[in-house]
Amino acid sequence: MADIHFGTDGWRAIIGEEFTDDNLVRVIDASARVFKEDAVAAGRPLDNPGTLIIGHDCRQDAHAYAQLAAEVAATHGFDVKLSEDYCPTPTLCWSVSKDPEAVGGIMLTSSHNPAEYLGVKLRLADGGAAGKDLTDRVEAVLAETPQPTDARGVYTEVDLMTPYLDALKARVDAKAIAEANLRVVVDPLYGAGRGYLAGLLRDLG
């Protein structure tokens, strides 16, 4: 099995090489164990440690990988909510921070890396990035569990984008934007904002 390490804000690897089903299962299983340990330490029940929210970008097979991640995380007793479609990382972060039952989030993305990469970012209950202390603990669990688990659980797919976009629209002066009669060109560069930003701007007139 691959020797997996987290770098700056996540683990990243080439799809089909080191980013495989087995390696993803190991990373999610280890991450869920650490999230659960902290949730229980904070007073949550062992059999109901809270909610984990999982999102993904629009890279190759990202939704299928995210479904696998959700199944693995759910085996640890979490109420797992999976984004029904691709979403930007800030959407996942905001969704976690707004859910009082959420103890963390998992985002499948490799950020600025080339298209052939995918990765895993971990988010804390406030939506912020997991620090090195937490990812070091995940790596320690990975070292102790070199084989992927076969356990799979049940998750729920949810719409993360609609409430996020509604919140964005509520933060700006929609009337002023509409009256400005702006013409805007959007190039999302194949990123996870594709479709969403153009639609948001149209909604704002």
Kind and range of the H or E run holding 14:
strand 11-14
**Which DSSP string do the residues of 91-152 spell out, in sequence order?**
HHHHHHHH-TTEEEEEEE--TTS-TTEEEEEEEETTSPBP-HHHHHHHHHHHHH--S-----
| Bridge partners of residue 55, in order along the sequence | 107
Instruction: Report the distance separating Cα 107 and Cα 100, nearest Å.
Output: 19
Specify the residue for token string 């194949």.
Answer: 190
Amino acid at 64: A
Does the active-site annotation cover 110? no
Q: Among the options 31, 95, 110, 111, which is catalytic?
A: 111
Residues 6+ apart with CB under 8 A from 61: 15
Q: Which positions are annotated as active-site residues?
A: 111
